[in-house]
Amino acid sequence: MIKGVVFDLDGVITDTAEFHYLAWKELGEKIGIPFDRAFNENLKGISRMDSLERILELGNKQNHYSQEEKEALAHEKNEQYKELIKQITPSDILPGISTFIEDCKSKQLKLALASASKNGPAILESLGLKEEFGTIVDPASLAKGKPDPEIFIKGAELLGLKAEECIGVEDAEAGIAAVNAAGMFSVGVGNAESMKAADLFVEHTADLNLEAILQAVNNK
Ligand code: G16
Ligand code: MG
């Protein structure tokens, strides 16, 4: 029986990908590694330091910086990102998500956030959704990022539930892999190709339907 829902943030509850992109792009240009939106797709759901590594790899500069310098670069990107996310308001909640959360609440489901973002709590606050979530997994407490299942396992644990009692909602391939490996029913948001590993997927957040999901869990 499903008792909880563990949500990814970026791409599911709101779309911060554009802000991450703008902040990384500015840093990339500064260090001589320009990149486009297509490359940015590789950074979705990936932690801050891992994103930096991927950018440095793109420019063949992984070995140009010490650990300390890399941390300074990641910090600089985050300062820029924090400036950009100041504009977030409840109107930035993705379509259908408020209703979906209300439906979960009326079914007494507990909600957790499993985002790789250390800015997750601030973003939920700006969206006016902080009170809805019983638990926010602290990504700094994790040994491994998505696709490792740790963040979803911890989300269920913090809700006092077993992974099998939860649904995981994700928009990234690495995220769906993490939900599946955690032993949760996976719900993907995205196109058929990128969401092929999900137990159920919808193209847009507006298509998320709790009844249909619970039905699919029962039929699995
Ligand atoms: C999000 C984004 C990633 C970002 C990561 C860490 O993941 O998709 O692009 O690198 O968080 O964010 P921060 O630098 O704010 O700690 P998710 O898991 O919410 O999709
Ligand atoms: Mg995401």
CB distance 47 to ligand 1 below 6 Å: yes
Alpha carbon distance 151, 109 (integer Å):
19
Ligand 1 atom closest to Cα of residue 139: 16
**Token pair for residue 56?**
């440095």
Mean of the pLDDT values across residues 96-119?
97
**Token pair for residue 55?**
């950018």
Protein residues with C-beta less than 5 angstroms from the ion ligand 2: 8, 10-11, 45, 171-172
* Amino acid residing at 214: L
Q: What is the DSSP string of 160-206?
A: T--GGGEEEEESSHHHHHHHHHHTPEEEEES-TTTTTTSSEEESSGG
Specify the pLDDT at position 220. 87
Mean pLDDT for the chain overall? 96
Asked if the model's pLDDT at residue 42 lies above 90, the reply is: no
Is there a binding annotation on residue 69? no
Alpha carbon distance 21, 6 (integer Å):
25
SS3 for 58-77, per residue? Answer: HCCCCCCCCHHHHHHHHHHH
Is there a binding annotation on residue 77? yes
Is there a binding annotation on residue 22? no
Proportion of the chain above pLDDT 70, given as a percent: 100
Alpha carbon distance 71, 53 (integer Å):
11
Is 8 an annotated catalytic residue? Answer: yes
Ligand nearest to the CA of 40: 1
* 120-124, 191-195, 211-215: least confident range: 191-195
Ligand 1 atom closest to Cα of residue 116: 18
Mean of the pLDDT values across residues 36-48?
88
Return the closest-CA partner of residue 73 out of 62, 83, 84. 62
Ligand 1, from 48, 179, 189: best to mutate by most atoms within 8 Å of Cβ?
A: 48
Query: Hey, whose CA ends up nearest to atom 12 of ligand 1?
Result: 117
Mean of the pLDDT values across residues 99-116?
97
- Domains of the chain and any CATH numbers: 4-15+89-219 (3.40.50.1000), 17-87 (1.10.150.240)
Mean of the pLDDT values across residues 46-67?
95
Query: What is the ipTM for the molecules in this complex?
Result: 0.91
CB count within 10 Å of CB 92 equals 15
Using an 8 Å Cβ cutoff, are 119 and 142 in contact? no
